[in-house]
């Protein structure tokens, strides 16, 4: 019996030591004690309701009494019972306070598990951000590489094309290719059968790309307009080309129409036909009468090429939408016998418009034929850098409005005979106002 008492006393002593140690820790933590008590109580009560948690709890637990008498009953209990109760409370507090002490100590020693979880979450978010930034960086690098290859290839292509062109020797172009937001180029169709600027200006088209009006204009200039030619008497517009080549023709156009063109490109018959072939031909609406005249003009061109006379003839029963190759398109444009010169220049713009629509694809699929067929038969005063700029400007054909027109405007001219020449007498003020408004965006 004594031995059993000694063992019980040892257990009581250990329980009291643990109980006192816990209470001291709770007091030293100040405000944390209330939180600990709140968190401890549910677990402590649950332990008290579980007899298996303490084998002696069921037989030693006193009858339930009002809480206000608890302290008095404690004083009157036998000493051994008091120690056992203290032991039970110590055990209960120790069991319930384990997690509480861990949380109470969180301020002193960080919860490594929580830290790892938080770190994992933060690292995960940072990983996602880093991954997102990395993906964006790779995309930007890819875009930069593609653009570099594109523009690098474009520059090389422009260089190759430029080397194949014929350049006006001893001439230094004045003015800028692009001025006041408008890129201007005078396209001159020469009736020459070989490269160069000799021959007559069979067609004159002012090509403008305007950032101000978001438009691409192809404006035909009728050759029979009576104009003032600097340094010469008044004459038809195409006489300026005969007097002083493309430079005097541009000066005459600027003076009479208020334009600001200082660059030109002259193409001969062969260049025109080769350009159409390089884009795969064009689809156009022709009347049966126009078909007849196409075959008639092919006779002369086939003779110049040394080809049999009936080469590229169209079926004389055809009309409507017809596919034309280069030689046929050239013959279609040269027709002077159906309609006035207005109708003739309209046919020229029809072909050029169809070519421009197919040109971007041809630059990718058929660059060799474009370079060999067109540029070898083209003469220009453009510099290498300006050719590159013009090539880049061509992309605006997709986004800008494409406008075809001709000068003089309807109602702004009359037929006249001057010095035995049949000419068009023009109201230049009206035509200048139209150009400044529609191309340069002035007066809107």
- pLDDT tens, residue by residue, 196-228: 555 667 789 999 999 999 999 999 999 999 999
pLDDT, mean over the chain: 76
Q: Which residue is listed with tokens 């050719």? A: 387
DSSP state of 69: G
pLDDT in tens, 350-372: 999 999 889 878 877 888 888 88
Which alpha helices (H) appear in 105-223, and where do they start and end? Answer: 112-164
Q: Are residues 200 and 84 in the same domain?
A: no
**What are the φ and ψ backbone dihedral angles of 306, each rounded to 5 degrees?**
75, 30
Tell me which of 41, 76, 109 is where a domain ends: 109
Angle at Cα 327 formed by Cα 325 and Cα 330, nearest 5°? 105
Q: With pLDDT > 70 as the criterion, what percentage of the chain qualifies?
A: 64
The reply to whether 129 falls in a domain is no
Nearest alpha-carbon partner for 43 in 84, 91, 86: 91
Q: What's the confidence (pLDDT) of residue 106?
A: 47
pLDDT in tens, 17-64: 565 555 545 554 544 444 444 444 444 344 444 444 444 444 444 444
Which of 71-75, 161-165, 435-439 holds the top average pLDDT? 435-439
> Which CA distances in Å does 53 have to 28, 44, 150?
29, 11, 80
Mean pLDDT of 268-297: 94
Which of 112-116, 274-278, 390-394, 398-402 holds the top average pLDDT? 274-278
Number of structural domains in the chain: 2
Q: Are residues 101 and 241 in the same domain?
A: no
Q: Is the pLDDT of residue 287 over 90?
A: yes
> Which CA distances in Å does 248 have to 192, 253, 297, 330, 378?
18, 9, 30, 26, 19
210: helix, strand or coil: strand
Q: What's the confidence (pLDDT) of residue 99?
A: 47
pLDDT in tens, 175-184: 789 998 999 9
Q: What's the confidence (pLDDT) of residue 224?
A: 93
Classify the phi-psi angles of 214: left when phi > 0, otherwise alpha if psi is within -120 to 50, otherwise beta.
left
Q: With pLDDT > 90 as the criterion, what percentage of the chain qualifies?
A: 41
Tell me which of 66, 87, 109 is where a domain ends: 109
The reply to whether 213 falls in a domain is yes
> For the chain, how far is it from start to end, CA to CA, in angstroms?
119
Which alpha helices (H) appear in 236-318, and where do they start and end? Answer: 237-257, 269-278, 288-305
Q: At what angle do helices 326-334 and 288-305 cross, to 10 degrees?
A: 110
Q: Are residues 298 and 387 in the same domain?
A: yes
Q: Are residues 173 and 315 in the same domain?
A: yes
Q: Are residues 203 and 65 in the same domain?
A: no
- Two structure tokens written together for 368: 């060799």
Residue 44 · residue 100 · CB < 8 Å:
no
| pLDDT grade for 339, boundaries at 50, 70 and 90 | confident
Q: What's the confidence (pLDDT) of residue 15?
A: 61
The reply to whether 102 falls in a domain is yes
Q: What's the confidence (pLDDT) of residue 354?
A: 93
| pLDDT grade for 153, boundaries at 50, 70 and 90 | low
User: Which residues 6+ apart lie within 8 Å of 165 measured at CB?
Assistant: 375, 376, 378, 379, 380, 382, 387
The reply to whether 155 falls in a domain is no
Q: Report the C-alpha gap between 222 and 236 in whole angstroms.
A: 9
pLDDT in tens, 368-412: 888 888 888 889 999 888 888 887 787 787 789 989 999 999 999
Q: Which residue is listed with tokens 């049999």? A: 308
Nearest alpha-carbon partner for 210 in 443, 438, 390, 12: 438
Q: Are residues 361 and 283 in the same domain?
A: yes
Mean pLDDT of 245-261: 95
Sign of CA dihedral 367, 370, 372, 378: negative
| pLDDT grade for 326, boundaries at 50, 70 and 90 | very high
Q: Are residues 60 and 202 in the same domain?
A: no
- Two structure tokens written together for 233: 């008497």
- Residue of 335 and 443 predicted with greater confidence: 335
Q: Are residues 172 and 105 in the same domain?
A: no
Give the count of beta carbons closer than 10 Å to the beta carbon of residue 235.
20
Mean pLDDT of 68-77: 45
| pLDDT grade for 117, boundaries at 50, 70 and 90 | low
Residue 382 · residue 265 · CB < 8 Å:
yes
- Two structure tokens written together for 199: 């021959």
Q: What's the confidence (pLDDT) of residue 190?
A: 80
Residues of the chain by 3-state class (helix, strand, coil), percent to 5: 60, 15, 25
Q: Are residues 315 and 245 in the same domain?
A: yes
The reply to whether 160 falls in a domain is no
**What are the φ and ψ backbone dihedral angles of 270, each rounded to 5 degrees?**
-65, -40
DSSP state of 405: E
User: Which residues 6+ apart lie within 8 Å of 5 measured at CB?
Assistant: none
Q: Which residue is listed with tokens 């692009």? A: 178
Q: What's the confidence (pLDDT) of residue 154?
A: 63
* CATH classification of the domain holding 342: 3.40.630.190
- Residue of 153 and 412 predicted with greater confidence: 412
Containing structural domain, residue 86: 2-109
The reply to whether 48 falls in a domain is yes
Q: What's the confidence (pLDDT) of residue 163?
A: 85
The reply to whether 314 falls in a domain is yes
Q: Are residues 81 and 193 in the same domain?
A: no
Nearest alpha-carbon partner for 99 in 53, 152, 41, 164: 41
Nearest alpha-carbon partner for 206 in 235, 232, 237, 229: 237
Q: What's the confidence (pLDDT) of residue 157?
A: 65
Q: HSE on the CB side for 301, CA within 13 Å?
A: 27
The reply to whether 136 falls in a domain is no
pTM above 0.95, yes or no: no
Q: Which residue is listed with tokens 């008044």? A: 234
- Two structure tokens written together for 392: 């880049």
pLDDT in tens, 289-312: 999 999 999 998 999 889 999 999
Q: Are residues 93 and 179 in the same domain?
A: no
Q: Are residues 186 and 76 in the same domain?
A: no
Tell me which of 85, 109, 133 is where a domain ends: 109
Whole-angstrom Cα Rg for the chain: 49
């Amino acid at each position: 019996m004594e031995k059993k008492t000694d063992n019980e006393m040892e257990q009581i002593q250990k329980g009291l030591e643990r109980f006192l140690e816990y209470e001291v820790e709770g007091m030293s933590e100040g405000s944390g004690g209330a939180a600990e008590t709140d968190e401890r109580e549910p677990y402590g009560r649950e332990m008290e309701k579980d007899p298996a948690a303490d084998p002696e709890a069921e037989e030693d637990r006193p009858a339930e009494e009002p809480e206000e008498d608890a302290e008095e009953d404690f004083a009157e209990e036998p000493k051994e019972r008091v120690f056992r109760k203290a032991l039970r409370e110590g055990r209960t507090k120790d069991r319930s306070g384990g997690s509480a002490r861990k949380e109470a100590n969180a301020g002193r020693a960080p919860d490594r598990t929580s830290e790892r979880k938080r770190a994992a979450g933060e690292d995960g978010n940072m990983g996602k951000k880093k991954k997102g930034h990395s993906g964006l960086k790779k995309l930007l690098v890819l875009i930069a590489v593609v653009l570099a290859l594109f523009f690098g290839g474009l520059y090389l292509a422009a260089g190759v094309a430029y080397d194949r062109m014929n350049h006006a020797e001893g001439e230094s172009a004045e003015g800028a290719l692009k001025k006041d937001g408008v890129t201007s180029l005078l396209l001159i169709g020469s009736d020459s059968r070989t490269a160069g600027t000799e021959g007559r200006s069979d067609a004159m088209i002012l090509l403008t790309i305007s950032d101000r009006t978001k438009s691409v204009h192809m404006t035909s200039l009728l050759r029979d307009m009576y104009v003032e030619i600097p340094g010469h008497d008044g004459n038809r517009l195409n006489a300026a080309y005969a007097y002083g080549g493309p430079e005097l023709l541009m000066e005459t156009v600027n003076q009479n129409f208020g334009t600001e063109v200082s660059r030109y490109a002259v193409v001969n018959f062969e260049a025109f036909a080769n350009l159409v072939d390089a884009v795969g031909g064009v689809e156009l609406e022709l009347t049966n009468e126009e078909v007849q005249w196409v075959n008639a003009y092919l006779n002369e061109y086939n003779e110049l090429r040394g080809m049999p006379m009936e080469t590229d003839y169209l079926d004389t029963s055809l009309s409507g939408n017809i596919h034309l190759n280069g030689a046929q398109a050239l013959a279609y444009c040269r027709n002077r016998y159906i309609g006035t010169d207005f109708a003739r220049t309209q046919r020229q713009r029809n072909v050029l418009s169809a070519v421009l629509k197919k040109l971007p694809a041809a630059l990718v699929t058929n660059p060799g034929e474009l370079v060999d067929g067109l540029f070898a038969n083209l003469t220009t005063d453009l510099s290498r850098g300006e050719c590159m700029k013009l090539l880049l400007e061509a992309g605006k054909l997709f986004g800008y409005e494409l406008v075809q027109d001709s000068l003089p405007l309807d109602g702004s001219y009359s037929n006249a005979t001057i010095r035995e020449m049949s000419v068009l007498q023009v109201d230049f003020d009206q035509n200048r106002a139209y150009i400044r408004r529609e191309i340069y965006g002035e007066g809107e």
